């Protein structure tokens, strides 16, 4: 019943879109410029049949995965170090806090100047975008860790390193995954934007390319593809997060 309702609501939106665009409706908003659902679907079928679509898909995915994984590893490492070692915190926080409020996409000119290839620049932008949410949520999660677990493990004779790997990292995972989810979201925004500005392949580049050659169905196909990729990668992070934090009390799970 609820599924029928959900599918029904999507169908109504699609139908409305089809009617408004097919009849070239102009009522302040100009639907006559937009492709119809049927046109988009036909275009999608053509694209999915060709090699270029997958080439772009692979490019964007490789960029986001590289940037995101780098951000995850470094964000978690820096977050833990800053929270656990006050001296390192004093050393690292000021420069990081200066860069943090700058939207990653505003760093595109710097990235172009700094890196030998556009490819590396795009990965850099994606990395910066995901790095800060992961860093900040890791730092908070480490700070909020109940001391009792650490006390317990220390009275078992654990060394500092053992405390780090046996208590701090597993104990902060729920908070870290909050940061990973947010990080994945902004990473997509930034990889697509960066591709639109300076890419040679990729879903973002292809979408912008379609717009400049007045291929509007192609634009919509690009948008839908971006949406799907964003949804799938976020779902993967979410699923992994649930798996590794299944020890949380039930009421904390959604």
Partner 1 sequence: MSLSVRSLTVGYGRSAVLSEFSLSVASGEFVVVAGPSGCGKSTLLRAVAGLIPFSGAISVDGVAVRGPSRDRALVFQDDGLLPWRTALRNVELPLALQGVPRSERRSRALSWLDRVGLAGVEGYLPRELSGGMRQRVQLARTLAQQPSVVLMDEPFGALDAQTRSSMQELVTEVLAGTTTLFVTHDVDEAVLLGDRVVVLGAGEVERQRDAILAAVKA
The CB-of-176 to partner 1 minimum distance in angstroms stands at: 13
Return the number of the residue (140 or 166) whose C-beta is nearest partner 1: 166
Distance CA(51)–CA(250), nearest Å, equals: 46
Asked whether the beta carbons of 67 and 151 are under 8 A apart, the reply is no
The CB-of-204 to partner 1 minimum distance in angstroms stands at: 38
Return the number of the residue (169 or 223) whose C-beta is nearest partner 1: 169
Contacts (CB under 8 A) with partner 1, residues 124-143: none
Distance CA(248)–CA(253), nearest Å, equals: 7
Contacts (CB under 8 A) with partner 1, residues 156-215: 156-158, 162, 166-167, 170-171, 173
CB atoms within 10 A of CB 78: 20
Residue corresponding to tokens 């919509």: 220
Return the number of the residue (42 or 245) whose C-beta is nearest partner 1: 245
Instruction: Establish if 84 lies at the interface with partner 1 (CB under 8 A).
Output: no
Q: Helices then strands (H, E): number in the chain?
A: 11, 2
Distance CA(5)–CA(133), nearest Å, equals: 35
DSSP string, 115-152: SSSHHHHHHHHHHHHHHHHHHHHHHHHHHTS-HHHHHH
Only one of the segments 6-14, 73-81, 118-126, 155-163 lies at the binding site for partner 1 (rule: CB under 8 A); that segment is 155-163
Distance CA(59)–CA(138), nearest Å, equals: 29
Return the number of the residue (15 or 248) whose C-beta is nearest partner 1: 248
The CB-of-143 to partner 1 minimum distance in angstroms stands at: 18
Instruction: Establish if 240 lies at the interface with partner 1 (CB under 8 A).
Output: no
Instruction: Establish if 151 lies at the interface with partner 1 (CB under 8 A).
Output: yes
Distance CA(65)–CA(75), nearest Å, equals: 15
Return the number of the residue (167 or 180) whose C-beta is nearest partner 1: 167
Pick one of 8, 58, 109, 146: the residue that binds partner 1 (CB under 8 A).
146
Of residues 138, 150, 133, 148, the one with CA closest to residue 83: 138
Return the number of the residue (172 or 233) whose C-beta is nearest partner 1: 172
| Footprint of partner 1 (CB under 8 A) | 146, 148-149, 151-158, 162, 166-167, 170-171, 173, 245-250
């Amino acid at each position: 019943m609820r599924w029928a309702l959900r599918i029904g609501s999507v169908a109504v939106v699609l139908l409305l879109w089809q009617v408004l665009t097919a009849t070239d409706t102009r009522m302040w908003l100009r639907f006559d410029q937009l492709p119809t659902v049927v046109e988009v679907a036909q275009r999608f079928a053509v694209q999915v049949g060709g090699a270029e679509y997958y080439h772009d898909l692979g490019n964007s995915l490789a960029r986001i995965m590289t940037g995101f994984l780098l951000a995850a590893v470094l964000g978690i490492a820096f977050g833990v170090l800053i929270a656990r070692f006050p001296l390192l915190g004093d050393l690292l926080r000021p420069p990081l806090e200066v860069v943090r409020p700058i939207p990653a996409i505003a760093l595109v000119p710097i990235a172009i100047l700094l890196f030998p290839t556009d490819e590396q620049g795009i990965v850099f932008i994606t990395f910066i975008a995901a790095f800060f949410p992961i860093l900040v949520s890791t730092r908070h999660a480490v700070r909020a860790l109940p001391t009792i677990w650490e006390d317990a493990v220390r009275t078992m004779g654990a060394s500092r390193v053992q405390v780090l790997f046996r208590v701090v990292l597993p104990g902060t995972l729920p908070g870290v995954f909050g940061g990973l989810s947010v990080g994945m979201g902004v990473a997509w925004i930034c990889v697509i934007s960066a591709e639109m500005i300076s890419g040679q392949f990729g879903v973002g580049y292809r979408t912008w390319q379609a717009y400049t050659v007045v291929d509007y169905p192609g634009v919509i196909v690009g948008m839908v593809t971006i949406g799907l990729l964003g949804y799938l990668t976020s779902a993967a992070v979410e699923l992994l997060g649930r798996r590794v934090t299944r020890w949380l009390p039930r009421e904390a799970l959604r």
